[in-house]
Structure 1
Amino acid sequence: MDLLEQRIALRLEALRRDRGLSLEDVAQTSGVSRATLSRIERGETSPTAGVLGKLCTAYGLTMSQLLLDVEEDAPSLIRRADAFRWHDPETGFARTSISPPQPGYQVELIWAELPAGARIEYDSPPVRGLEQHLLLLAGELKIDCAGKTYALAGQDCLRFHLTGASAFESTGTQTATYVLAIRRPA
């Protein structure tokens, strides 16, 4: 297990324990089996984007909030080399938090790369009403949200509020690379 996987495992265990929840409590709330939760917390397996999405919903956190330990004195300048990067072992999806959530700030920026043909699905938003602005930098991307399907190409931009299930699919022949701005509801 690498350092990043250890951090994720420790963060998930700390979130559960800090909230006084058992593995069974989180399993019932998230829909992720108790056995899978236990293996993730022990670092025996890496969570997929779908599993992390379910855990975000269970804890009421964005994925960035779930993955990162929020520091009180975060730097204003975040170098790309120092940004937190997470990779989904199942889909190849890579997510870099280029401007992570911090106290006093309502917006976070994510750099995302979804390999050609890959699809990630989320049963529900981590926080209902999240405002998102997605700028596609390269590739082609199909997004399902709020009962609508959007096909993005070139440097299209889509803005939406997450209120239900969503899915992101890289439909072209190259990796879909995009920047996602997320604003938590007030």
Structure 2
Amino acid sequence: MKRTTAVEAEVGDGYRSPDDVDVRLGSRLAELRAERGWSLGELAERSGVSRSTLSRAERAEISPTAAVLNRLCAVYGRTMSQLLSEVESEPALLVRAADQQVWQDRASGFVRRSVSPPHAGLRGELVEGRLAAGADIAYDRPPVPGLEQHIWVLEGALAMTVQDVEHRLEAGDCLRLRVWGPTRFRCAGGEDVRYLLAVVRP
């Protein structure tokens, strides 16, 4: 699979029946834009995401990719977990494994599980990520500048590029960083890679 960029990965494979989480997410994205009094055109200029993609995401006609959500989180000053927690009905102190929210970027082969109980005010959170063999995702900016991340590989191999330096992580390896610019996550082996991402907001 070729490297997936934010621009190339904006839209998935055509129209599909929206998932419930996509409907709630689309509604929340529309609310955030309305709270700021921005038109779709203004948000497109601020985020670098096309007006058409923004409109379709708000109407839940498409499921936004990880790269698109990352851009919107940067504009709205939220981490992805914070944004996704805002579409949950009630924050909980304990979330069983079966109830942890799972979100998929179908275009790039990325599956994201929110391990931490959702809460919009959390500074720290745990996320499980899984990249299919060959998957390659590039983020052009952090959702929050200076975001602290600890990436612990559980299975497989991950190539993590930060500030033009690639770090290859095998099972058991952990990389700590603060994110100020572009990053890239690439499955570096022939099988899926699964990793735990600990995120701490500055």
2:167 counterpart SS class? strand
2:95 counterpart SS class? coil
Structure 2: distance between partners of 1:132 and 1:163: 11
The count of corresponding residues between Structure 1 and Structure 2 is 185
TM-score by length of 1: 0.93
Of 14-23 and 166-175, deviating more is: 14-23
Structure 1 equivalent of residue 114 of structure 2: 97
Deviation of 1:101 after TM superposition, in Å, equals 5.1
* Residue number among 10, 13, 23 corresponding to 1:6 in the alignment: 23
Structure 1 equivalent of residue 59 of structure 2: 42
Structure 1: distance between partners of 2:89 and 2:134: 39
Structure 2: distance between partners of 1:102 and 1:2: 22
Deviation of 1:100 after TM superposition, in Å, equals 4.5
Deviation of 1:74 after TM superposition, in Å, equals 2.8
Of 86-95 and 67-76, deviating more is: 67-76
Q: Structure 1: any 5+ residue segments left out of the alignment?
A: none
Q: Structure 2: any 5+ residue segments left out of the alignment?
A: 1-17
Structure 2: distance between partners of 1:28 and 1:143: 29
1:106 matched to 2:113: no
Structure 2: distance between partners of 1:115 and 1:103: 29
1:94 counterpart SS class? strand
Runs of 4 or more above 4 Å deviation: 70-73
* Residue number among 42, 45, 60 corresponding to 2:77 in the alignment: 60
Percent pairwise identity:
48
Deviation of 1:102 after TM superposition, in Å, equals 2.5
Structure 1: distance between partners of 2:128 and 2:198: 9
* Residue number among 7, 19, 22 corresponding to 2:39 in the alignment: 22
Alpha-carbon distance change, 72 to 52 in structure 1, aligned in 2, over 3 angstroms: closer
* Residue number among 88, 97, 100 corresponding to 1:83 in the alignment: 100
TM-score by length of 2: 0.86
Q: CA RMSD in A?
A: 1.7
Structure 2 equivalent of residue 31 of structure 1: 48
